[in-house]
């Protein structure tokens, strides 16, 4: 059975369980383990944000949309906090967008889960699992998990629910020139995360910059980058892979046709003759 994909909730719960205190008498009375985090209603003004949190870009339009959703449907997922030495004051671990949305709405309190796990680690996991995280914040978050928290790429892959190869691809964007990364941060919606990853695998810096210019007109896509890479390297792996897959597919289809050849009609023969001519043209015969 493949490993279960971690979600924000399971990530927090796993780390919480590692450092959980023994069950209280009331927990034992009701058959609880004591490892479950506590849900509270915290004063918004008493929550201190973390200046080192993985997310560094907050889109105001998206925040307004989130605030409208919370106003209509309520908060669907509490923020994560940790207690501080000052009674009633908490440090935000994860959920800054939700906290900011409550501030926009002028709400005095917010539902929060008190966690005793490793705050930075939980915050990183919670953030890298978000689908709206831009490519650079994602890559930097993954790098922090590996460098600062000792995660192997296989463990990072489990957190994201993807392959180790995909983790390597996501990390590759940090190899792009600094000025391109800066321009991307200024308008991340202009280029998809996948297109930026593809761009990072273009070997020639001059070609990288030429392709990046097309981003200004919305022309930088995964397909356009792959096409440029293929045209610059006619002997590269990608064209050979396409040829191999296609020829194998044709061979399989020919075997299927041969198995039912007795039912072949005139129109079928004409189509096959046409295909033979096209194959002869490809072969130069």
Known catalytic residue: 25? no
Measured between alpha carbons, how far is residue 154 from residues 12, 158, 162, 173, 252 in Å?
Answer: 19, 6, 9, 19, 36
Q: Residue 47 is encoded by which pair of tokens?
A: 């929550």
What whole-number distance in Å separates Cα of residue 120 and Cα of residue 92? 10
Closest listed residue to residue 59, CA positions, set 132, 137, 126, 1: 132
Measured between alpha carbons, how far is residue 159 from residues 28, 138, 139 in Å?
Answer: 31, 12, 14
Q: Which of 25, 71, 86, 96 is catalytic?
A: 96
Instruction: Write out the E strands in 14-162.
Output: 38-43, 47-48, 79-83, 90-94, 109-114
State the Cα angle at 194 between 192 and 197, rounded to 5°: 115
Torsion of CA 101, 156, 51, 103, to 10 degrees: 10
Q: Residue 16 is encoded by which pair of tokens?
A: 């919480």
Cβ atoms 55, 137 nearer than 8 A = yes
Positions marked catalytic: 96
């Amino acid at each position: 059975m493949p490993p279960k994909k971690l979600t924000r909730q399971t990530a927090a719960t796993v780390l919480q369980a590692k450092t959980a205190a023994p069950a209280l008498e009331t927990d034992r009375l009701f058959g609880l383990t004591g490892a479950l985090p506590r849900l509270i209603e915290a004063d918004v003004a008493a929550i201190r944000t973390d200046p080192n949190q993985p997310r560094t870009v907050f889109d105001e339009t998206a925040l307004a949309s989130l605030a409208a959703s919370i106003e209509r449907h309520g908060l669907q997922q509490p923020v994560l906090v940790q207690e501080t030495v000052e009674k009633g004051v908490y440090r935000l671990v994860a959920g800054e967008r939700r906290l900011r949305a409550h501030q926009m709405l002028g709400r005095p309190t917010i539902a929060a889960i008190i966690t005793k796990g490793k705050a930075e680690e939980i915050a990183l996991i919670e953030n890298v699992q978000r689908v709206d995280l831009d490519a650079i914040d994602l890559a930097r978050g993954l790098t922090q998990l590996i460098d600062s928290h000792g995660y192997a790429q296989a463990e990072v892959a489990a957190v994201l629910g993807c392959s180790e190869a995909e983790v390597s691809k996501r990390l590759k964007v940090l190899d792009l020139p600094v000025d391109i990364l800066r321009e991307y941060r200024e308008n991340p919606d202009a280029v998809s995360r996948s297109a930026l990853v593809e761009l990072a695998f273009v070997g020639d810096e001059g070609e990288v910059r030429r392709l990046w210019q097309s981003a200004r007109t919305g022309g930088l896509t995964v397909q356009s980058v792959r096409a440029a890479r293929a045209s610059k390297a006619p002997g590269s792996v990608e064209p050979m892979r396409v040829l191999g897959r296609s020829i194998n597919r044709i061979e399989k289809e020919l075997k299927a046709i041969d198995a039912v050849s007795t039912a072949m009609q005139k129109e079928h023969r004409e189509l096959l003759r046409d295909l033979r001519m096209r194959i002869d043209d490809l072969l130069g015969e």
